[in-house]
Structure 1
């Protein structure tokens, strides 16, 4: 029987508070891939939102939290995923911290990962039993979208099925932050190449702490 180790700590470094929804995605990966292992996942609030160079923020997160692993989320935006990941690797090297730093880089922005689950979008819009068509992109088209954020916000507003006057009071930003917490079926997300890359690298980093 494999012994369960002590708690593995993971700190999140990202550019803004709206990206902290990645916490729920990390939690899902740890729960499903390492069900016998205890984890503590925290946001490195001292370096969010982003101020200063990335290597300094990574170093601050390490000194403040002393985690076993850092997950560094950055949107690819107009860059290729590979170039953004290279930036994170370079910052990790410059920071000279002795732990794995796992890049989490969605195509364009993290909203592309949140577009994969219609039920979670409806729940975040406080209308989980809604049936109105959300017109979400096909999974194979998501990473080609020029502006996944606007597509997601439109879907959230549509999911509310509210009349125009009440829709003006709907907080789409708050709803966006809640989507990942309602995700139960991750099959569509797992088919996105950018998420596959992140999941694989995080699992490898965790395994290195256990073995």
Structure 2
């Protein structure tokens, strides 16, 4: 039996949550079972949209460490490298030792991906 890894999916907004299922599918296609939690931040009374705040809130809601962090952040006008650095810096600032997968779609690919994987 394959070990199922635990993970936390953090996105910019609720419209990005379907990406978590796609990420799980990509892992499964490669023989790795990952169960990503997609936290609802509403019970916390609102969480800032920056990566660090969302990671911190997500981990607080889970009450347990995870094997994998998947952080969705649009590249927007900043570009891929800037967003990747932002995600890595936020993760390091929290002292998190989970593996990190930055999910940073470039302009216009995200909508296409959600419609036709």
The verdict on a shared fold, with TM-score over 0.5 as the criterion, is: yes
Q: Provide, for residues 87-109 of structure 1, a one-character-per-residue CA deviation record: whole Å limited to 9, x for no partner.
A: 1111111111121221110113x
- Structure number with higher relative contact order (C-alpha < 8 Å, ≥ 6 residues apart): 2
Take 1:106 and 1:8, find their aligned partners in 2: how far apart are those partners? Answer: 24
- Alpha carbons 2:5, 2:33 under 8 Å: kept: yes
Provide the TM-score with structure 2 as the length reference.
0.79
Structure possessing the higher radius of gyration over alpha carbons:
1
CA distance in 1, matches of 2:50, 2:20: 22
Cα RMSD of the aligned pairs, angstroms, is: 2.3
The match for 2:90 is 91
- Would the aligned equivalents of 1:56 and 1:95 in 2 still touch at CA under 8 Å? no
Q: Is 1:51 equivalent to 2:48 in the alignment?
A: yes
Q: Unaligned regions of 5+ residues in structure 1, if any? A: 117-178, 187-211
Shift of 1:59: 2.1
Does the 8 A contact of 1:72 with 1:103 survive in 2? yes
CA contact (8 A) 1:16 1:50 kept: no
Which 4+ runs in 1 deviate beyond 4 A? none
Given the two structures, how large is their TM-score scaled by the length of structure 1? 0.47
| Partners of 2:27 and 2:100 in 1: CA distance | 16
> Can you give the 5+ residue segments of structure 2 that lack an aligned partner in the other structure?
none
Give the conservation status (yes or no) of the 8 Å contact 2:5–2:35.
Answer: yes
Are residue 11 (structure 1) and residue 8 (structure 2) matched?
Answer: yes
Deviation at 1:60, TM superposition (A): 2.3
What is aligned with 1:113?
Answer: 110
Question: How many residues in Structure 1 have an aligned counterpart in Structure 2?
Answer: 112
Say which structure is richer in helix.
1
Match of 1:20 among 17, 26, 29: 17
Aligned equivalents of 1:114 and 1:32: distance in 2?
Answer: 21
